[in-house]
């Protein structure tokens, strides 16, 4: 199974090439490469076919043909695809914070819909989501100092949303100082000269939707 931006389709490796069949959108990809890796998908090293039957009405045929454009998105820098069970990589849009200021993204409304619109696909949640995931959260700071990234989270009754929340946290371009995890809060403090990338990697099958994100500079050095 090949997953990207929350969508899954069936990938089949053949003796001489590989095939992906997407029954939801009526698409088949055919490649001479042995596997449909993320590299292959980004390079668009495949041929795209629209699947429909002779008896299908014209409007269905047109819809399926239009759907072939969906897979062109995999060439975009933030897109990522992987076989089921392999770790996904998700990159949010950059969060900018003024010197000694605070940036607040999203409303405290028990919904992650606005986070999806603000930070992009896959960035409305943190932790395990359909597959093991490593999320990268770039923060554009303007002054050397101590920073804090705080996520207000939404748990739930599902098997993933209900598990005790735990992720591995690292900071690129800075020094991680602390990471506090609760059911409804993730708070990371780090020191950085300016810009940094906070990375959260799912450890087990636990994840949370994101209600709100706050990034603030706490002090200077």
Q: What is the pLDDT of residues 47-73, one digit of tens each?
A: 999 887 778 888 877 877 777 777 887
Domain ends where: 43, 63, 83?
Answer: 83
Pair 77, 93 in one domain: no
Q: Domain check: are 184 and 94 in the same one? A: yes
What pLDDT shows up at residue 83?
87
Task: Judge if 178 and 195 occupy the same domain.
Answer: yes
The DSSP bridge partners found for residue 101 are none
Residues 131 and 193 in one domain: yes
Residues 121 and 27 in one domain: no
For the ranges 6-20, 54-68, 117-131, 174-188, the lowest mean pLDDT is seen at 54-68
Provide the domain count of the chain. Answer: 2
Which residue segment(s) compose the domain that 206 sits in?
88-220
Same domain assignment for residues 34 and 118 = no
Q: Which long-range contacts does 49-52 make (Cβ < 8 Å, 24+ apart)?
A: 50/26, 51/21, 51/23, 51/26, 51/27, 52/26
Q: Residue 167 pLDDT > 60, yes or no?
A: yes
Domain boundary among 58, 83, 108: 83
Average pLDDT of the segment spanning 74-101? 87
The tokens describing 137, both together, are 């959260």
Same domain, 52 and 140: no
Domain stops at, among 83, 113, 145: 83
Distances from the Cα of 36 to the Cαs of 21, 87, 109, in angstroms? 12, 15, 39
Question: Are residues 172 and 108 both part of a single domain?
Answer: yes
User: Is residue 123 domain-shared with residue 162, that is, in the same domain?
Assistant: yes
Residues 78 and 129 in one domain: no
């Amino acid at each position: 199974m090949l997953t990207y931006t929350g969508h899954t389709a069936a990938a089949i490796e053949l003796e001489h090439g590989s095939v992906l069949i997407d029954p939801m959108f009526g698409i088949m990809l055919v490649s001479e490469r042995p596997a449909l890796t993320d590299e292959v998908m980004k390079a668009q090293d495949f041929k795209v076919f629209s699947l429909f039957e002779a008896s299908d009405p014209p409007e269905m045929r047109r819809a399926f043909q239009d759907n072939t454009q969906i897979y062109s998105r995999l060439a975009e820098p933030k897109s990522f695809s992987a076989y089921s069970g392999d770790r996904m990589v998700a990159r949010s849009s950059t969060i900018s914070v003024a010197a000694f200021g605070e940036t607040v993204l999203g409303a405290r409304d028990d919904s992650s819909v606005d986070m999806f619109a603000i930070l992009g696909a896959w960035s409305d949640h943190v932790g395990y989501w359909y597959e093991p995931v490593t999320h990268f959260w770039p923060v554009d700071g303007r002054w050397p100092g101590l920073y804090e990234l705080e996520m207000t989270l939404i748990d739930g009754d599902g098997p993933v949303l209900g598990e005790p929340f735990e992720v591995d946290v690292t900071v690129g371009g800075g020094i991680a100082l602390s990471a506090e995890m609760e059911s409804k809060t993730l708070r990371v403090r780090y020191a950085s000269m300016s810009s940094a990338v906070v990375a959260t990697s799912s450890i087990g099958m636990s994840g949370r939707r994101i209600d709100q994100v706050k990034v603030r500079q706490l002090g200077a050095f």
